[in-house]
Each structure stands twice: as C-alpha cells, then as structure tokens.
A and B are shown apart, each in its own frame.
Chain A
C-alpha cells in the first residue's frame, strides 16, 4: 500500500539502543515454553523406529505384535502417510524422509512409529515391530559416490545441467555453473598460480533443543500443532499437504526455540506426530532424542573442492576457478550450487568459473546450516587466496583489498553489486589492534573474508494500539536471535513512543497472514520492514482520528515524535495530541486503531565479513587453542547492537567448532559412530576466547533504516580464518576440515618426514 522501503537516513531515538529482551526473564528463569514444554490432557508418547542400515530395501514391516501390546494406541508406517504430493518431487522427498516408503536410505531413516500411553510402552512396542530388510551396498563419501562403480542410491536420477542427457543414472543429481570471462586466458596472464584440493566433513547445526512437537487431530479433521520451528507457516503448509488437509484447518503455534540455525526449517517428526494422532484419536507428543537428532535431522554437506587462482606479480588476480562437490544426503538438493555462487563473491574478477555437483550419499538429508554451503567454499577459496598472497610476497589483507569487490562490480554469480561492505571490513581489519597483538611460540594468525546473500520474502505483521496507548506487535517470523526486541524498537521508533510500551509476540498461523520462515537472515530485515509499514498505516489512522478530534482536515495533521501535530497558520493554537490521548478516545472516533502490513521484502542487502584469529598449536600432540578472535561485519544498521554482536559471536563460535573438531564419523558399515555430544565435539565455553566484534554500518539502500541481515555471514569466514592461522602456526598447509588433533599431528609429521 504505497510503502516506500527506500533508505531515508533518519536520526534514530530507539533503534541502536540496547534494552533487555522481552523474552529474557522467562528464559533465564525456566518459565519459557520450548517445544517439549507443551502438554495436553490425554496425550500419548510418540516414538519412531529407525533403520539401522545405511541402505536397505524394505521387504515387509509386520506391526501386528506391536499393535497388540497393551497401552499401544497407534502404530504407523508409510502406508499411513499415503503419497498426496501430486508430482511435486521436493515434497515427495520430504514425505519419504519423514517415513521410508520402499527403501531405507540412511542409518536413522524412520520406518515406523508408535503412540503409546507412556515412554516405556512405546519403547517396548518399537522392539515388537518386525522389519524385513534386504541390505544393499551403500556409499557415504562424497567423492566415492561420484565414482562410476559406486552403489546407486536412486536409479531414476540422471544428472541435470549437462549438455546432453546422460544415458546412465548416477548419484550426481545436478551440475551447475557460474562465472564470466575466460579463465584459460586469465591463467595465461598469471605470474603465480595456486591450485589445491580441499575436503570438509559433515557437521550438524548442534542446536541444544531437540526437535519436539505435540500434535492433536480432532475427529472433525481439524488439527493443532505446537512445535519448535523456524517457520510455523511453512510447517503448516508442508504438514497440511502431506496429510491431505486444508491449510486453514491446521493451526500451528511455534514455541520458543533453543537454536535452529537452518535445521528447523524442514519437517521431520511433525507429519509423523499428526499421522499418529489422527490414527490414535488422541494428542501425541513426539520429542527426538539427541541420538535421533544427529542420525536423522539435518546435517550440512560434506564437501570436496578444487580451487585454482592465478595472479600477476602486482597482486591482481587474473583468473579464478573452482569445482565444488557437495553431499546432499539421499535426496536431490542445490547445495553445491549455492557454494558455487558464493565461492568468489568477495572479489572483483574478470575471469571466473565455478562448477557445482550435487551428490547423493547414504547419509541424512542435508539441511540448511547458517549461510548454507558458503563456509566450505570460503574455506577452500580463502585458503588458496592466502597461499597465493604468500607466493606473491604480499600481506594477505593488502592482497585481498587490492582484489575486493566494490559498488558496481559484477559479482562472480551474476548480479552487479550496490554499496557493499567487503572493502570497509578489510580496511577495518588492517587497522584493528588485533593485527598488532604479539604472537608467541607455536602461535599463528589467520584472516579470511566471507559473503552471504541474505533473503527477504513474504511477511505479514499486525500492530494494534490498545486504549491505554500501549502497542501489541504480532509478527509471523519466529524469534531465533532477539528479533522481538529489535522489532519492538522499530515499532517504537516509527510511532515515536518508548520501547517499554511495545510488546511483540510471534502469532500462530491462524492469527496472521502467511510468513516465510526465519531463514536467510531475513527475520529482522523483513519483519522490521513490515513493522515500519504497519506502523505507518497505524499513524495514518492516528492522524485521521486526531483530525476528527480537532475537526480539521487530515491533510493538516502530521505525526511527530509520538504526537499528532496540527500544521499551518490557522491551527497554530492547537496543542499536540499524544498517541495515548488519541487511543483513549478511539472508542468514540471510529473504534480500535491498528496497522496492518503484508509485503514481499525485496532488496535484502548482501553481507560481508572479515575475521581474524590467532591459534596456538602444540606441535607434539596437534592440540589447538584459540587465543584471540575478532569479527568485523557490515550490519547495514544494527537495530539492537547487543544481539547483532551475539550473532557475530555465535557464528564465529560455531565456525570454530566446525573448523577444529566437529564431524560426522561413519563406520565401514555406514552407521554413524558419534551420534551424541560426547563424541560430536561442539566447543564448550572454556574452548573459546572472548570473541571481539566490530559492527560496520553501510546502509542497505532498500530498507527504510538501512538494515541488512546479520545472522549468517558470521559463520562463513571462520573455517578459512582458522585454517590459515593453524597453517601459519604449524608450518604446514591444512586442507581437511575439521583440523582435529590427529589430522594436525599427521600433517606436521608428514612435513617433518618430507
């Protein structure tokens, strides 16, 4: 409705301050309700039977014994979730992943589920389900899966994106290519060329809260779902489609969320819980164990990447090329494609080419993980960039500054950049005191850059003004990182009232129009845009009501600092009317005052970051310690700087874990060896230094306040920054993530031996 999203350069009163978050007290006192904290009278316990095999044909499932066990109220298999996807291949994959239909495709793939009166009965019932498997050869490694002799995971897959359709099926679902110029010619002009291959192992988002939901299907066919998710509207659509319901008949309420990082953007257990409830006629609560979270919910891709970069003696990059292979689990994805798009996005290149291959493996379905696919590509590229700078004898920061993309640069993935932050983050790093901090023996420093697109998308928001002048803000983007506080600041800013008078909630799917989920760093970007729009619509009504109260034309009423002001000579003697005064009279001037907004938030500004880190390596054991870590990132405008810093630190912390210790370890039998936090090593507090942050604000021209998404970019540079630091400390180039102590020690020994 004539909403102007352009950056206006206004001065802020609320935005940029650091009030405490509205959800804070409940969270620190244990009162907040997470996924597993919802309960209903008569609810049953749901549990899932999972395949112990990496790849197996399901010949037969006999549930008769389990059904006869006292206390069991429903047992389901794929038969209870019939295929209603109507040719939608992506939805069919989601359905098959929720409950295996003809084949179990990974260790942990759901094959049946039960609902029983208690956990013990449910566990016993699972043991009574008889599954007749025909074990098939499996493949879990991304490079092995690409070999001609590799076991085929899906014989209907023929690689897309090739010039000619292949005659044989393969595990490569798609080839994608990006770039411009002529890399052959470019390498011909290079004085130095670095060419290397890299590998990264699969990691999990590692959210502390496991997937949890309560599903209640009524006998009239309507249903409620309480669930921990990053996108309850998306969950509603997927569940409704898979269960054959009208979306409006399923109300989904999102709980507080104990971390998602992309892993709670897909349905896993929710359609199963709904199907169990439908069959049992009672509410069903389904909570994954940690083991199930690791075995069956969304890890990121494992990758294998080749990079080649050439430069002239003066430090100008003449050509850059990369081939990226990303594992997708057993279903098609576009993970390598995203890696191929982001790989060289930081640089201004005349000749660049990236090729991505999506590879099927017998591992859980790959899910988004914070700037999905970008950290691995950045690891490979930024490692090679660092090595090339060394060969050229140039400072790694100066080399990057010389080649950094800028406004007007044609990006390696196509679009031409507007105002961007890569150059400024590099300049800030160059001048940061961290770069001058002394290094001791066995310590090394590394730095690296990272890029992320940021998303916008569909957003709907309601802003209601109470008769006491306080404001309720209902948003549809799940709050994963403090967005209720940030959006309250934005509402307060636009209306000209104090933050304390705004209360933001995340509304359920029946109370608000559709919202895309909180992913792609879009939560605060898009919902703040919608909040500004809703507030402006409310201000229009506030002005109308003031005009009515004064009996003057609305055109003569302006909104200033939370007040209606009559402008012009003839109204000079009228006092201002506050929002509170107008609200108090609303019953007499036309009823409730509200502002509504629905929009597609376009123009999410791209985001860049540069990280510095110092690592100490014990050369006798390969043990590492992070000594210092600094994040410099462009936020566009930091609405709530504390939560922006939190995002910067959180991304760095996850990146540190990924770089140094986290990995999925599969046995020869194709089974996951470390499905728990003991042997899947995310960092503990004492593993991390205080992570320093510096927020740069280069306004996004497409947002009224200049906001860019900030949530994801912070995980893009760490793998590379840490690899560069470890390589400098150990005196040997590290090319395999995670750089666990055995890998570092082996590399040091090989270097000594060679």
Chain B
C-alpha cells in the first residue's frame, strides 16, 4: 500500500490516473479507514487530499459558496454566512456520525461514499448543489445528484476528484431543512430522510421548491411531483398532506435490518411534511 499527500490537484489527478491497482481518496477517512480496518478494502494507493491548496476552505463568492472537498463538517457549522444561507445543508452535515466524526468527515466524502442513506446528500440535492470535478481532461461541474449512481457507486471516472461543492447565493425569502429518522438520538444512520428547499413570495406562496428523499431508493431521490405539490400555494394542511402522500408514493424502499418498506414510506411522508414546515418558517412564511 502506498500513501501520498500531494500539494496540488493536478498532482493528485495525475497520480490517480497513473495508478495501476485500486486507489482511494482520503479526506476525513471516516468511511475509508473504517472499511480498511474492517478488512473490506485494501487499496494499493491512498491519496490524501488535505494538503492540496484551497481544498480545506469555504469561499463565499458573488455566486454563492464553494466548499472545499477536505472541509470537515464541523467547520460548516462554524461558518455564519453558510449557516444563515443554507441552514438545512449545515444541519444535515452536522448529523453525520458523532461530534468526533464531524471533526473529520466531509460532505464530499459523504457524497462519494454513495450511500443512499448519506445524511448530507438529500439536503445538498434539495439545495441544488453542484460538484466541481477535476480530472485528467480538465474540470467539469455537475449536479450532485448525478454523482452517486447506486449504493457504493459513482459516476466519477478514473483520475477524477471532486474539488468542491457549490451552493448558490440565496434568493430572498428562501429556506431549507433536513430531517432524518434514526432509532437513536445520534451515532446512527438514516432509516429514511427528507430535505426540503423552498422560496416564497411576499404573500407566503411557494414559488420554487425542491424535495429530496434519502434511504428511500438506491440513490437519493429528487421528487419533482413533491415540489409541484408545494409550488403555487401556501403551505396549508392540504398542501402538506399532498406532499406527504406524494413522497410516500415516490419511495422505492427495501425491507432490511433498518426498517420495512411500509415504515419507510410512511415516515418519508411525515419527515417531508415536517421539513417543509421548518423550511417554510425559515423562509419567513407564516
């Protein structure tokens, strides 16, 4: 096994592209090291990206925020501007693992681990976040929901590294929220989860919405009909009921050790409704 700590993204990309056996990217290591210790993976090459210039920074730009791939989730919670603009994304990142884990883990790692139950991903999808990818043939930017393609699988090609996650500048009267269901209070993984992001007009009518569900299908679901259930109306009981129903219907969950199909459907609706209510209040809706 070879461990390298490149100082530039070009070097990292080059090393990855040239590697012969299995390679893994190390940021916080909260997934990789656990899997290595459990004997599930034995990479030939480990590329530690924490020393690459800029990857450990959150930058506020004219267009919004750029969150470097090596920024630990705990740091998201310490960024006042980000917290104010995207409270749902930050609360999702701050639910991963435990306080200690949050000091290491990253939202990019959470995305690339490609678990349908990843906490930050539904919030990022609802937020319309994009991933900046560096690779052997240059840079490209794609929607975060296009990164995971199935449990443990991503669309990243050999040599590609996600450099940063981009979040848009906030329009006025917008809010987002994320909720997950776990049997415990912390140190757990979502049985099912929901992220809601919406914008309202001055009358409290929803003008734009994105609703994403986690642990409800092989990848995080962006539920367009759920957004349609909200847009063009105030967040009244009828809209919430319709939202819950649509979300329950959109799920394609499985029966497993963490929950049943029936339970996931029902609770997906409940969480979407509750998250929408919080997002609406954050947008200033009454």
Contact = CB atoms under 8 A, between A and B. Distances in A.
A181 interface: no
Given A621-B181, A741-B181, A684 B186 contact: yes
Interface in B16-67: 38-39
B38 to A, nearest CB: 7
Given A673-B257, A745-B263, A678 B189 contact: yes
A687 B184 contact: yes
Contacts of B188: 678, 681
A740 interface: yes
B187 interface: yes
Interface string B175-197: 00000010111111101000000
Contacts of A289: 38
A686 B186 contact: yes
A641 interface: no
Contacts of A686: 184-186
B266 A123 contact: no
Most chain B CB inside 10 Å of its own CB: which residue of A289, A661, A745: A745
B158 to A, nearest CB: 27
Contacts of A673: 256-257
A661 B189 contact: no
B169 interface: no
B263 A742 contact: yes
Contacts of B227: none
A679 B270 CA distance: 23
A314 interface: no
Contacts of A679: 189, 257-258
Given A673-B257, A742-B260, A746-B263, A661 B183 contact: yes
A752 to B, nearest CB: 12
Contact of B267 (A621, A684, A740): A621
A623 B181 contact: yes
A681 B184 CA distance: 8
Contacts, number: 56
Interface in A109-132: 123
A753 to B, nearest CB: 12
A746 B267 CA distance: 12
A103 B259 CA distance: 33
A688 B79 CA distance: 31
Interface residues of A, number: 25
A283 interface: no
Contacts of A17: none
Contacts of A678: 188-189
Contacts of B191: 741
Interface string A621-659: 111000000000000000000000000000000000000
B262 interface: yes
Contacts of A745: 263, 266-267
B26 to A, nearest CB: 19
Given A746-B262, A746-B263, A674 B257 contact: yes
A114 to B, nearest CB: 14
Nearest to B269: A620
A686 B98 CA distance: 11
A686 B182 CA distance: 13
A163 B183 CA distance: 47
Given A291-B38, A678-B189, A622 B263 contact: yes
B75 to A, nearest CB: 23
Nearest to B274: A620
B189 A741 contact: no
A683 interface: yes
Contact of A665 (B187, B257, B266, B270): B257
A140 B187 CA distance: 29
B106 to A, nearest CB: 19
A660 interface: yes
B3 to A, nearest CB: 16
B184 A684 contact: yes
B187 A684 contact: yes
Contacts of B39: 123
Interface in A280-316: 289, 291
B93 to A, nearest CB: 19
Interface in B204-263: 256-260, 262-263
A684 B191 CA distance: 17
A289 B38 CA distance: 8
Contact of A623 (B183, B256, B257): B183
Contacts of B38: 289, 291
7 contacts: A123-B39, A291-B38, A620-B266, A621-B181, A683-B184, A684-B187, A741-B191
8 nearest CB pairs, A to B = A742-B263, A686-B185, A673-B257, A665-B257, A620-B270, A661-B183, A674-B257, A684-B187
Given A665-B257, A741-B263, 9 more contacts: A661-B184, A678-B189, A679-B257, A684-B185, A741-B181, A741-B183, A741-B259, A741-B267, A742-B259
